[in-house]
C-alpha cells in the first residue's frame, strides 16, 4: 500500500511501512479525537444547565465549538504541510484533554466557554491530521476507501461517546461526565505515542511558511472553489438532519421513540453507503457519484413533507443518509486531487473552514425560515440548497 500523501518535492518522512493494522489504529485515533466533540456537545450543555446557566448561554457555547476552527483550520493545514501529521495530531489531542482539565480546575459555567472552544478546535484539527494520515498520493481509489473507513469510525464513536457521557453524567455527576471527554483525549494520545499508526513527521528542512493570503487564494482556483463548497453543503445538510427530524416529528405528532428510529435509519444508510464507497468509486467517476448524491438528497428532503407516516419517513431517512454517506468522503478525495502541489493540507484546512462556516450559517438561516414560514418550508429550502449545489457538481 502506498504511503500517505507525500507530495513531490516535500521532505521525506519518518513514517513506518504502512499496513492494515496501522491504518486501523490511525482510524481509531482519529475517531477518538472526533468523538470527543460529540461527547462535549452532549455533556457540556447538561453541565452548564446544571450550574444554572441560561439557554442563551448554552446557545453561545454551542457556537464556540465551530468558531475557532473556522478561523484557524487553514493555518493548521499549512502546519501539517510543513511538519507532517504526528505533532499536529498530538497537539489536537492535547487541546481535547485541556478542555476537560480547564473545567475540572475551575468548575464554573464560564469555564465551559473555553472548554467548548478547546474541544471543538481539537476535534477539527484531529480530523485534518487523520484525513491526511489515511490518504495515499496517486491512489485516489484507495484514498476514497480509507476516508470512507475513517468516516465509518466517526459514525460509530459519535454514537458511543454521547451515550457514555450521558450515562456517567446521570450516575456519577457532572465532573465525571467532563472527565469522559478528557479520557477520550488521553486514549487518543496513548495511541499516538505507541508509534503503531500512519501519522508521521517530516524529516529534513521544513517547507517555508506560505506567504499567500492565508489559503483564501485557493478559492481563486475554480475546481477547488466548487468542490470546497459542495463538500461544505454535504456537511451542513448532514449536520442539520437531526434538527429537521425533531421539528417535523413535533409538527406531525410523531412519538419521540419513533423520531429516534428515524435518526437510526439515517445513520444506518450513511454507514452502509460508506462501506460500499470503495466498490462504487472504482466503477463510476467521482463527479457523477457526487451529482447523484446531491440529487438523491434533494429528492429525499422534498419527499419528507409529503408524508406523516413512520415507515415512509424511515425509508426516506435511510435514503438521505445513504446519499450523504457517499458524497462526503468522495468530495474530500476530489479536493485532495485538485489541490496545488505542496498545499494539500492547506486545502483541507480551507475545506474545514468553509464547512464550519456553512454548518453555522445554514442551521441558523433554516431556523429563521422555520419560525417564519413553517417546518415544511425549511425542509423544502434544504432540498433546494442540495439541488442548486448540483450545478457546481456538473460545472466545468
Write down the architecture of domain 216-394 according to CATH. Answer: Up-down Bundle (1.20)
Q: Is the pLDDT of residue 257 over 80?
A: no
Phi, psi of 201 (to 5 degrees): -110, 155
Mean pLDDT of 59-64: 73
Spell out a b/e string for 200-223, using b for 16 or more CB atoms within 10 Å of the CB, else e. bebeeeebeebeeeebeebeebee
Rounded to whole angstroms, the Cα distance separating 226 from 182 reads 37
Tell me if 92 sits within 8 A of 130, measured CB to CB. Answer: no
Mean pLDDT of 94-120: 94
- In DSSP terms, 84 is beta-bridged to 201
The answer to which of 38-47, 99-108, 193-202 has the lowest mean pLDDT is 193-202
Tell me if 250 sits within 8 A of 308, measured CB to CB. Answer: no
Rounded to whole angstroms, the Cα distance separating 133 from 31 reads 13
Phi, psi of 95 (to 5 degrees): -65, -40
* pLDDT value of residue 1: 33
Tell me if 263 sits within 8 A of 317, measured CB to CB. Answer: yes
Q: Is the pLDDT of residue 302 over 90?
A: yes
Q: For residue 381, give every residue at least 6 positions away whose Cβ sits within 8 Å of its Cβ, in sequence order, or none.
A: 366, 369
Phi, psi of 394 (to 5 degrees): -100, -10
* pLDDT value of residue 337: 75
Share of the chain above pLDDT 70, in %: 79
Mean pLDDT of 186-206: 75
Q: Is the pLDDT of residue 252 over 90?
A: no
Mean pLDDT of 234-262: 75
Mean of pLDDT over the chain: 78
Q: For residue 244, give every residue at least 6 positions away whose Cβ sits within 8 Å of its Cβ, in sequence order, or none.
A: 301, 304, 375, 378, 379, 382
Name the residue with higher pLDDT: 212 or 240: 240
The DSSP H or E segment spanning 232 is helix 222-252
The answer to which of 3-7, 80-84, 328-332 has the lowest mean pLDDT is 3-7
Q: What is the dihedral of CA 152, 30, 113, 168, to 10 degrees?
A: 70
* pLDDT value of residue 367: 66
* pLDDT value of residue 119: 93
Q: For residue 80, give every residue at least 6 positions away whose Cβ sits within 8 Å of its Cβ, in sequence order, or none.
A: 88, 128, 129, 132, 345, 348, 349
Q: Is the pLDDT of residue 10 over 50?
A: no
CATH superfamily of 20-194: MFS general substrate transporter like domains (1.20.1250.20)
**Sole residue written with cell 465509518:** 152
Equal fold, 20-194 vs 216-394: yes
* pLDDT value of residue 339: 73
Rounded to whole angstroms, the Cα distance separating 328 from 130 reads 15
Domain spans in the chain, listed from the N-terminal domain onward: 20-194, 216-394
Burial class (CB within 10 angstroms; exposed 0-12, middle 13-18, buried 19+) of 258: middle
The DSSP H or E segment spanning 261 is helix 256-281
354: nearest Cα among 77, 32, 34: 77
Q: Is the pLDDT of residue 58 over 90?
A: no
210: nearest Cα among 395, 306, 80: 80
Could you tell me where the beta strands, DSSP code E, fall in the chain? none
Name the packing angle between helices 20-50 and 109-134 (round to 10°).
170
- 3-state class of 188 per DSSP? helix
- Predicted TM-score (pTM) of the model is 0.64
Amino acid at each position: 500500500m502506498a504511503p500517505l500523501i507525500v507530495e513531490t518535492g516535500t521532505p521525506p518522512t519518518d513514517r513506518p511501512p504502512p499496513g492494515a493494522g496501522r491504518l486501523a489504529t490511525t482510524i481509531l485515533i482519529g475517531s477518538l479525537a472526533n468523538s470527543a466533540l460529540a461527547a462535549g456537545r452532549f455533556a457540556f450543555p447538561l453541565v452548564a444547565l446544571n450550574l444554572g446557566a441560561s439557554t442563551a448561554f448554552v446557545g453561545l457555547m454551542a457556537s464556540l465549538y465551530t468558531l475557532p476552527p473556522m478561523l484557524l483550520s487553514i493555518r493548521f493545514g499549512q502546519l501539517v504541510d510543513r511538519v507532517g501529521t504526528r505533532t499536529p495530531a498530538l497537539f489536537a489531542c492535547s487541546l481535547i484533554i485541556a478542555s476537560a482539565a480547564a473545567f475540572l480546575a475551575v468548575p464554573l459555567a464560564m469555564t465551559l466557554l473555553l472548554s467548548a472552544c478547546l474541544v471543538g478546535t481539537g476535534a477539527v484539527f484531529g480530523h485534518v491530521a487523520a484525513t491526511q494520515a489515511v490518504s495515499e498520493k496517486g491512489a485516489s481509489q484507495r484514498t476514497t476507501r480509507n476516508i470512507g473507513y475513517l468516516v465509518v469510525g466517526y459514525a460509530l464513536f459519535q454514537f458511543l461517546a454521547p451515550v457514555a457521557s450521558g450515562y456517567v453524567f446521570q450516575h456519577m455527576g457532572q465532573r465525571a461526565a467532563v472527565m469522559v471527554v478528557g479520557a477520550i483525549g488521553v486514549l487518543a494520545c496513548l495511541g499516538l505515542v505507541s508509534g503503531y499508526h500512519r501519522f508521521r513527521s517530516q524529516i529534513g528542512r521544513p517547507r517555508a511558511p506560505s506567504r499567500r493570503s492565508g489559503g483564501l487564494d485557493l478559492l481563486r482556483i475554480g475546481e477547488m472553489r466548487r468542490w470546497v463548497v459542495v463538500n461544505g453543503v454535504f456537511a451542513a445538510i448532514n449536520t442539520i438532519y437531526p434538527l429537521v427530524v425533531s421539528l417535523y416529528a413535533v409538527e406531525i405528532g410523531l412519538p419521540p421513540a419513533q423520531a429516534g428510529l428515524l435518526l437510526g435509519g439515517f445513520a444506518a444508510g450513511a454507514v452502509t453507503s460508506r462501506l460500499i464507497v470503495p466498490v462504487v468509486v472504482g466503477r463510476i467517476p467521482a463527479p457523477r457519484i457526487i451529482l447523484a448524491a446531491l440529487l438523491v438528497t434533494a429528492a429525499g428532503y422534498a419527499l419528507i413533507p409529503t408524508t406523516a407516516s413512520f415507515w415512509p419517513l424511515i425509508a426516506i431517512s435511510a435514503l438521505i443518509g445513504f446519499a450523504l454517506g457517499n458524497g462526503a468522503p468522495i468530495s474530500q478525495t476530489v479536493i485532495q486531487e485538485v489541490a496545488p502541489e505542496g498545499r494539500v493540507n492547506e486545502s483541507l484546512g480551507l475545506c474545514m473552514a468553509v464547512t464550519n462556516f456553512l454548518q453555522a450559517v445554514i442551521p441558523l438561516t433554516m431556523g429563521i425560515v422555520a419560525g417564519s414560514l413553517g417546518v415544511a418550508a425549511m425542509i423544502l429550502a434544504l432540498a433546494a440548497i442540495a439541488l442548486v449545489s448540483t450545478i457546481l457538481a456538473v460545472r466545468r
